[in-house]
Amino acid sequence: MTDKNVFTRRGFLKLGGLAAMSVPAISVAKSFGGYDIVTSEEEYGGFLVRRHTKKNPPYEVNDAVYKRYDLPRSAGLNKNGFLDHFRRKQNLNKNIANKVTGFTRLEAAFAGGASSFMAGLGVIYSFEPLDYPHPLTKDLSKMPPWNPGEYGLSAKDVSNIVKKAAKFYGASMAGIAEVDERWFYNTEPTSVEEMITLLGDAKPDLSRLDPEDDLINLFAKTLRKSRDEFITNVIFSGEVDKPMVREDGTKVIPKSMRHMITMAFEMDYDCMETQVSGLALAAAGSGYSRMAFTSASLAEFIRALGYNAMPMGNSTSLSVPCAIDAGLGEMSRIGILVTPKYGPRIRIAKVLTDLPLVPDSPISFGVREFCEICGKCAKYCPGQVIEKGGQSFKPFPTGNAGVKKWQLDGNKCYSTWADFGAVCHTCIMVCPFNKPEGWVHEATRILIGARSGSIDKILLKLDDASGYGVGKDPGAYWKKNNFMHIKS
Ligand code: SF4
Ligand code: SF4
């Protein structure tokens, strides 16, 4: 951060003559226009937040058009994505060989270490208990289900315990959503992560990729297994009391598994600031590794209480709508979740369970309205793949029809990553909501809640002038002793 950025909140407020708009750090609850309006330093980083109900969520879906997402259409899993995956790897190797700043062997090794548990070792994201459980969980899970009532605990108390446990195991944020079957995939490559791990450095024979192929077929061909082993349909049924896979490959989830514990994991600000580089790749890899560790730990905790628990990374269900329903944040122009505390600089994991819990309320805090005016992500996106205009219900190659949002061509985004030889997170870095503690973050927290287009424009200008969002020198990263990320 440059000296130019080091303003105090009070200084900024004086600058804008807005000191009177400062809000107290304690939670307040007021009903206004049909919403509860609250602020909480702990939960919402001090933002003024509207609490919605599931019947009146902060998004619009046209159920006549909407269909559950077909995962193999997604950017990383279609033919385009597969080819780009290997092109990215080739370009990364070239960067390492050429000692390109930010992509040297040092940063690549750092990213590799951070990503060690990224795929959950191929065993985490399963409804089955771990096959190497701790003796404690192994014994406890055989006992009758824990009855919180015996200890004077309500479902709300248990919900708070579970969210506390999620944070103890490593989540930056945790919320609970009632299951919405619309967010589950209608086809799922059950072991893509495992397949990626198994493939390792094996060079696939791309000549075997025909126009009808996708990543799943290629995995199947490469490993000489049937496609059916990697694809399942997900259905909910009242006839089973444990998750199972039918012979036809359908994954059956008991209707009793009604709650999705959704967790957000902050990615390191300093690494992300060095877009595009191996350091940003380390930030993402570390997020994925923590997702696996935390969701596995939380699932084992719940299993030891005698209930079903199914940890999920990006698998089985879309993550962003679950996180919105769980009150972790709002959808943005980039199509990813923006949280009050960390902005879009997060990754998401989930645990589906039948432990009786109380869902949280979806929230809004002005992200969509700010996105309408801002558009910084679309302006600075190196691939120019983010919609610069307004939201629509239109389908796009890697997205779903029937949800009102900004279009983003995931295939072109993935190709941009391949050009760089690394994961690009430029859109996340330039976002004004992606701020460490500092004056813009403080001002944004306070002023976004005021909901005024003219204030949004002022904030945007200040954000531009501050120098935030400009990629920083990766070489400087190793000399910094302090971390800028926000501790939860
Ligand atoms: S990740 Fe990079 S290429 Fe993809 S949308 Fe964001 S800025 Fe654009
Ligand atoms: S950069 Fe601006 S438009 Fe893009 S997600 Fe962030 S606030 Fe929205």
Could you tell me which residues come within 8 angstroms of residue 472 by beta carbon, excluding any fewer than 6 positions away? 273, 274
Say how far apart CA 296 and CA 111 lie, in whole Å: 22
Label the pairing between strands 48-51 and 363-364. Answer: antiparallel
Could you tell me which residues come within 8 angstroms of residue 17 by beta carbon, excluding any fewer than 6 positions away? none
Q: Which pLDDT belongs to residue 362?
A: 95
Say how far apart CA 155 and CA 157 lie, in whole Å: 5
Q: Give the residue whose CA is nearest to atom 3 of ligand 1.
A: 413
Mean pLDDT (whole number) for 412-436: 89
DSSP state of 394: -
Q: Which pLDDT belongs to residue 448?
A: 55
Say how far apart CA 154 and CA 347 lie, in whole Å: 30
Q: Which pLDDT belongs to residue 130?
A: 75
Say how far apart CA 350 and CA 259 lie, in whole Å: 10
Decide if pLDDT at 468 tops 60: no
The per-residue pLDDT of the chain, averaged, comes to: 80
- The Å distance, Cα 338 to ligand 1 centre, comes to 15
Looking at per-residue pLDDT, the higher value among 339 and 20 belongs to 339
Say how far apart CA 122 and CA 191 lie, in whole Å: 7
Point out the ligand 1 atom lying closest to the alpha carbon of residue 384.
Answer: 8
- The Å distance, Cα 377 to ligand 1 centre, comes to 8
Q: Which pLDDT belongs to residue 71?
A: 75
Q: Dump pLDDT digits (tens) for 94-135.
A: 999 999 988 999 999 999 999 888 755 556 777 777 767 788
Looking at per-residue pLDDT, the higher value among 275 and 34 belongs to 275
Decide if pLDDT at 147 tops 80: yes
- Tokens in use for 319? 């993550």
Point out the ligand 2 atom lying closest to the alpha carbon of residue 376.
Answer: 1
Q: Which pLDDT belongs to residue 266?
A: 95
Among 5-14, 217-226, 401-410, 472-481, which stretch is predicted with the lowest mean pLDDT?
5-14
- The Å distance, Cα 83 to ligand 1 centre, comes to 18
Q: pTM value?
A: 0.84
Q: Is 418 within 8 Å of 88 (Cβ atoms)?
A: yes
- The Å distance, Cα 398 to ligand 1 centre, comes to 14
Say how far apart CA 235 and CA 186 lie, in whole Å: 8
